Amino acid sequence: MLAFLVGEALRDLRRAGRVAASAILLITLALGALGGFWLLSTNLGRAVGEWRERVKLVVYLRREPSSADAAALVERVRGLPGVASVRFVGKAEALGTLREVLGKDAAVADQLLQNPLPASLEVVPTAGGATPAGAQALIAGLAAMPETEEVGGGVEWIERFARGQRLVTLFGLGLGGVLGVAAILTVTTATTLVLHARRDEMEIMRLVGAPEHIVRLPLLLQGMTQGLLGALLAVWILFSVHLLLAPRLEPLVAESLGLARLTFLTPLNLATLVVIGTLLGGLGGLLARGRATP
Amino acid sequence: MTPAAIIEPPAMMELHRVWKVYSVGPVKVPALSDVSFQVTKGEFVTLHGPSGAGKTTLLRLLYREEIPSEGEIQVLGLDLARARRGEVAALRRSIGVVFQDARLLPGRTVYENVAFVLRVLGTPRREITARVFEALRAVGLSARAQAYPAQLSQGEAQRAALARAIARKPLLLIADEPTGNLDEGMAAEVLDVIRDVWAGGTTVLVATHQKALARTLRRRTLTLQNGRLLKDEG
């Protein structure tokens, strides 16, 4: 029976001709857009994740503590929530670093009458401490210490980037959604056309006492087949584009985003796209089925 | 217990004071008025009347394409006014219907047209071929199995429609003007097939507007006129 129903659905698909092809193409576009933005968002998300791991806060101290006080201060800061590690940087080390940075111009530093650089603590936050709320709490905690002159660094720029990433995701979802609705309507039109063409079949089926689900199932299967074909086509296009473009874009991406390579969607992501496509098509078939209800 | 289990045939169908009234705007048009009769198992009944007498409406009531405005109809023990969708489907599996215009599916061959109804009813694949050819043999169309409806004469198309109706081995065969579009020779062929089906034990109800045909059949004849049952003779 299943073979018969699938056979009928494929027969109907051939009948729908160009409209069915348009529906498949629209589903491909919708899922291609969705998948493309998903791919972009995934890679941007990876970049944000890596940057979060590299976040460092610098606590500038009012005066340089003694070795014993510095050790006690480091221990105290390490005990704050959201702190992964702490390193004390004395005034002399700071000046040494400046000399390294200046390179051949390091002699400028020698002209200074006294070392103007403050001692500091380099604080690396935990993952929780690198979130906007975690970083805010941590900065407030560090600023409240009596030894603190100023707290430098932060995660705002990462958050701005992360907001951009979420915006890309939302835009992708929106575009995919709009194209998805268009795809559903086209599948509905294709199925409705077929429905007119197979009105005689449906009448005969009802007349001989076929169960109602057998009468209607081919329409649903037809819609699902269109969705499945559109989704598979979208996955194939995404894979091909990634295969073609990723090696060319990776050097640029490595420099700008710090990502060694551009990853593709996971098998679970791809399966989700295929399921979404099949459901979109099925929904189109169901809507046409609704119109066909006697 | 289902209604079919309570009232066993021989009462194949029973109509009691059946009315069918259509509303055309504010006007009520009665298509059938106070029709009552009974058909027992194995009978061959001709339903005769001029065009517009209500024959087709009556037949549509019997396979529950329409429901009566008033009165009771029982077919194979099922009360059609109260029957649920699943019960109607089950009833229709026991009824073969043939229309004046054959209503074959144009994109399918004669074989496929007959096989189609067996497939949708879930007949096992290995049984389908045997039953299709058995039905085509019965109507004399074995040689035309691969022909499309457009390649058939009207008589052949009507016999193909009959094959489709009898392939399911129905308990009741309803034919609505099966010879209406046919010349005398072709009409005789189709009637011979219907007689053979009846001889095999199937109850038959044939609607016709042709008086001569009703006389030729020499069976029980119900005469309808203006929606009323005028005569029940034979």
Instruction: Give A168's Cβ-side CA count (13 Å radius).
Output: 17
What are the start-end ranges of the E strands in chain A? Answer: 57-61, 83-89, 120-125, 148-152
pLDDT at B10: 62
Nearest to A207, CA basis, from B175, B84, B132, B65: B65
User: Tokens standing for B223?
Assistant: 């005469």
Q: Hey, what amino acid is at B124?
A: P
Domains of chain B, earliest start first: 3-233 (3.40.50.300)
Kindly report the backbone phi and psi dihedral angles of residue B212, in degrees, each rounded to the nearest multiple of 5, phi listed first: -60, -40
pLDDT in tens, B31-49: 999 999 999 999 999 999 9
Residues from chain A contacting residue B88 (CB–CB below 8 Å): 209
The percent of residues in chain B predicted with pLDDT above 70, rounded, is 96
Quick one: pLDDT band at residue B128, thresholds 50, 70, 90? very high
Least confident window among A164-168, A198-202, B20-24, B207-211: A164-168
Beta carbons of A257 and A44 less than 8 angstroms apart: yes
User: Tokens standing for A212?
Assistant: 């109602």
Quick one: pLDDT band at residue B1, thresholds 50, 70, 90? very low
pLDDT at B19: 95
Mean pLDDT of all residues belonging to chain B:
88
- From B183's Cα to the closest Cα of chain A, the distance in A is 26
pLDDT in tens, A191-249: 777 777 778 888 888 888 988 888 888 888 888 888 899 999 999 999 999 999 988 88
Taking CB atoms within 8 Å and a gap of at least 24, the contacts of B4-7 are B4/B76, B4/B77, B4/B78, B5/B77, B6/B77, B7/B74, B7/B77
**Torsion sign over Cα A121, A126, A129, A131:** positive
Quick one: pLDDT band at residue B136, thresholds 50, 70, 90? very high
Q: Check A212 against B85: CB less than 8 A apart.
A: yes
First to last CA, chain B: 36
Residue of B nearest to A15 (CA): B107
pLDDT at A155: 62
pLDDT at A157: 66
Measure CB to CB from residue A204 to each of B90, B93, B117 and give the nearest one: B117
- CA gap A57, A80 in Å, rounded: 13
Residues from chain A contacting residue B103 (CB–CB below 8 Å): 200, 203-204
pLDDT at B3: 47
pLDDT at A111: 79
User: Tokens standing for B160?
Assistant: 């193909």
Topology of domain A56-154, per CATH? Answer: Alpha-Beta Plaits (3.30.70)
In angstroms, how far is CA A141 from the centroid of its own chain? Answer: 32
Q: Check B89 against A207: CB less than 8 A apart.
A: no
Residues from chain A contacting residue B94 (CB–CB below 8 Å): 209
Residue spans per domain, chain A: 2-51+158-292, 56-154
| CA dist B200 → B11, B166, B173, B203 (Å) | 18, 11, 12, 9
Determine contact: A157 vs chain B, CB below 8 A.
no
- CA gap B133, B114 in Å, rounded: 9
pLDDT at B6: 45
Determine contact: B103 vs chain A, CB below 8 A.
yes
Instruction: Give B90's Cβ-side CA count (13 Å radius).
Output: 13
pLDDT at B5: 46
- Residues with Cβ within 8 Å of A163's Cβ and at least 6 positions away in sequence, in order, are none
The pLDDT of B75-101, averaged and rounded, is 90
Buried-exposed string A173-198: b where 16+ CB fall within 10 A, e elsewhere: bebbeebbebbbebbbbbbbbbbeeb
Measure CB to CB from residue B105 to each of A204, A210, A214 and give the nearest one: A204
DSSP, res A294: -
- CA gap B219, B148 in Å, rounded: 34
Residue of B nearest to A1 (CA): B122
Determine contact: A204 vs chain B, CB below 8 A.
yes
Per-residue pLDDT of chain A (294 residues), as tens digits, is 778 888 887 887 787 778 788 888 888 888 888 888 888 888 888 887 777 777 788 899 999 999 899 999 999 999 998 898 999 999 889 888 888 888 888 777 777 778 888 999 999 888 777 777 787 888 888 889 999 998 887 666 666 766 777 777 787 778 778 877 887 787 787 777 777 777 888 888 888 898 888 888 888 888 888 889 999 999 999 999 999 998 888 888 887 777 788 889 999 999 999 999 899 888 888 887 555 544
Nearest to A89, CA basis, from A54, A114, A124: A124
Q: Check A210 against B116: CB less than 8 A apart.
A: no
Determine contact: A203 vs chain B, CB below 8 A.
yes
pLDDT at B167: 93
Residue B140 pLDDT more than 50?
yes
- From A233's Cα to the closest Cα of chain B, the distance in A is 30
- CA gap A256, A251 in Å, rounded: 9
- The label of the residue with tokens 């800061």 reads A77
Q: For chain B, what is the radius of gyration of the CA atoms?
A: 18
Quick one: pLDDT band at residue B69, thresholds 50, 70, 90? very high
In angstroms, how far is CA A57 from the centroid of its own chain? Answer: 27
- SS3 sequence of chain B: CCHHHHCCCCEEEEEEEEEEEEEECCEEEEEEEEEEEEEECCCEEEEECCCCCCHHHHHHHHCCCCCCCEEEEEECCEECCCCCHHHHHHHHCCEEEECCCCCCCCCCCHHHHHHHHHHHCCCCHHHHHHHHHHHHHHCCCHHHCCCCHHHCCHHHHHHHHHHHHHCCCCCEEEEECCCCCCCHHHHHHHHHHHHHHHHCCCEEEEEECCHHHHHHHCCEEEEEECCEEEEEEC
- CA gap B104, B121 in Å, rounded: 17
In total, the C-beta contacts within 8 angstroms joining chain A to chain B are 47
- From B168's Cα to the closest Cα of chain A, the distance in A is 9
Determine contact: A50 vs chain B, CB below 8 A.
no
- From B195's Cα to the closest Cα of chain A, the distance in A is 21
Residue of A nearest to B169 (CA): A208
pLDDT at A270: 94
Kindly report the backbone phi and psi dihedral angles of residue A120, in degrees, each rounded to the nearest multiple of 5, phi listed first: -150, 170
- CA gap A156, A161 in Å, rounded: 9
Write down the ipTM of this complex. Answer: 0.83
In angstroms, how far is CA B44 from the centroid of its own chain? Answer: 12
